[in-house]
Structure 1
Amino acid sequence: MAKAEVAPLRPWDDFFPGWERFAKPDTRDMAKWNNRVVSNLLYYQTNYLLLAVGVFLIVGFLNPLGMLTAMAVVSGVFVGSVWAGENRAVINNFKRQNPTVFVGAVMVASYMLISLIGSVMVFMTAITLPLTLTLAHSSFRLRNMKNKLENKIECAGLKRSPMGILLEILGQQEENFQKIQTFLEDKMKGGD
């Protein structure tokens, strides 16, 4: 297994090249849309991280205590949901069959806990805004050949990245990896 590597920062003209490289996703083909999002998350992960850090710093500067509270709650809910997904078969199956709903449930649970504490606006700004911007970009940004190649290398396990590890924890990479592994095994059997 390869060690985790941080993906390079993509230049601005690749990250946001112009309106011609953006298109509305096909909402009738969820598998294709999911593949586009996962590919873009892997390819532009460092750009997305810098976007999130920028929003975190701005919000953290404006409301440091609320930011720490929101981070602690969301981290706790996320770790708890990952633990439950790994140790409870029902939750694990639900996570694999409905990954978007699972992530949404984690966000709703975080929101509800934070609303009890009183830092709702910090949550909405610091956590939801970067996630919304990242999801919007990864949904609308068309992939290029370098993007597709990087995704295949990541899924094959030849290269690991922090986003790849996170997507694997959320159950998004396993299916792709199994497809590639089956393809490679079939090729090796046919080549003998």
Structure 2
Amino acid sequence: MPDLIFPPLRSFHDFVSASARFGLPDGQDVHKWNNRVINNLHYYQSNYFVLAICVFLLVGCLQPVHMVEGLAIVAVGCWGASLVKSYWPYLQALQGEKLGLMLAGTAAATVLFIHYFLSGILFFLCAVILSVLVVILHASLRLRNIKNKLSNRIEEAGLKQTPMGVLLSSLGQEFIPIVSQHDKGFQQSITDN
């Protein structure tokens, strides 16, 4: 596997200025729209990372206490899930009264956390979701240029690997064409014979 390469920030002129070409995606051709989003995510990934952080921080400036509270609770939740995963064999060995007390204590702590910190958790999650939506919106509307297409073909050929390429591969989003319904029926008839 090739080394991970962090692509440079694309110029503001290329990313959002007046000369950058934008257009609504064709809602009828989902494959083409998906391809545009994936290619733009690859090409502008450094810009999208900076944009997502800026949106996240901007939203965080609106309610900094809720943001820090939500971040802390989500971090504690992730830590707790990691802890439970690492001690899972020991927890499975608990039986009877000890297991019931532990489950009751966990349920009570969860209810208290949700009751007192729900606004912080929701605010934090809204900031994360808004950051992702802004990135997806730009990737959907930004038309590709020649440099974008060339850069994506180099990564597709496996000559370089980027963080966005690794993330999209782990999510199952690669440069694979979508099979039409007609082709699926044809493939099904071949496998039946």
Under a length normalisation based on structure 2, what TM-score does the superposition of the two structures give?
A: 0.63
- In structure 1, what is the Cα distance between the partners aligned to 2:37 and 2:47? 14
Residue aligned with 1:142, SS: coil
Pair 1:30–1:173, CA change in 2 (3 A): same
Matching residue of 1:56? 56
Matching residue of 1:165? 166
- Conserved? CA contact 2:13–2:20, under 8 Å: no
Q: Deviations over 1:118-145 (max 9, x none)?
A: 1212211x20111111010000000001
RCO greater where, 1 or 2, for CA within 8 Å and sep 6 or more?
Answer: 2
Q: One-letter code of the match for 1:24?
A: L
- In structure 1, what is the Cα distance between the partners aligned to 2:144 and 2:80? 34
May I ask how many residue pairs the two structures share in their alignment? 139
- In structure 2, what is the Cα distance between the partners aligned to 1:7 and 1:151? 12
Q: Deviations over 1:47-83 (max 9, x none)?
A: 1101112233344561212123346668999xxxxxx
- In structure 1, what is the Cα distance between the partners aligned to 2:38 and 2:80? 24
| Percent of residue pairs bearing the same amino acid type | 43
Matching residue of 2:145? 144
1:154 shift after superposition: 1.1
- In structure 2, what is the Cα distance between the partners aligned to 1:142 and 1:130? 20
Pair 1:68–1:145, CA change in 2 (3 A): farther
- In structure 2, what is the Cα distance between the partners aligned to 1:29 and 1:155? 22
Q: Structure 2, unaligned stretches of length 5 or more?
A: 82-112, 178-193
- Conserved? CA contact 2:22–2:143, under 8 Å: yes
Matching residue of 1:68? 72
Higher helix proportion (structure 1 or 2): 1
Matching residue of 2:46? 46
Give 1:5-84 correspondences, 5 Å limit. 5-18=5-18, 21-60=21-60, 62=64, 63-70=67-74
1:35 shift after superposition: 0.5
Pair 1:10–1:173, CA change in 2 (3 A): same
- In structure 2, what is the Cα distance between the partners aligned to 1:75 and 1:21? 43
1:18 shift after superposition: 1.9
Pair 1:70–1:26, CA change in 2 (3 A): farther
**2:2 paired with 1:2:** yes
